[in-house]
Amino acid sequence: MTDRELRELCRRYFDAIERHDLEAVADCCDPEFTFWVNLSGSELTREQSLATLRDGRALLRRRSYDDRRVDTFDGGFLARYSVTCVPHDGRRFSLQACVVAQCRKGKITHLDEYLDSSKFRAPRQAEP
């Protein structure tokens, strides 16, 4: 895949997630797609990943992938961004993230997602 094709695939993938267009997300992914996340250390199949996005809709009113910076390499892309989430209660939070994507024949075959885990840690209590 060319640099332009990889960048376009990356754009389509994230734009589809923002629109909550699961059919378009699925179209970006190979049927054998796998998705690993650093926070859990687990790997999801395409169907599990789509189910997670579908279920996330119940928790989030909006999710956006802002300040996207994309670099391509032979067979994939690296995308760095801030993901901003707005739950139904209206409060907003953002965290830094990146994905490393492996791609083949116009589809994403595997994603490794790295989220800023510090956003999920409880604050440390001061010692008395």
56-69 burial: b if 16+ Cβ within 10 Å, else e: eeeeeeebbbeeee
Alpha carbons 54 and 37: distance in angstroms, whole number: 17
- 65 touches 72 (CB < 8 A): no
Cα torsion angle, 116, 113, 17, 51, sign: negative
What does the alpha-carbon distance between residue 59 and residue 88 come to, in Å, rounded to a whole number? 7
Per-residue pLDDT of the chain (128 residues; tens, 9 = 90+): 999 999 999 999 999 999 999 999 999 999 999 999 998 889 999 999 999 999 888 888 888 899 999 999 999 999 999 988 888 888 888 889 999 999 999 999 999 999 886 665 544 455 55
In the chain, where the domains are located:
3-116
What is the model's pLDDT at position 85? 85
CATH architecture of 3-116: Roll (3.10)
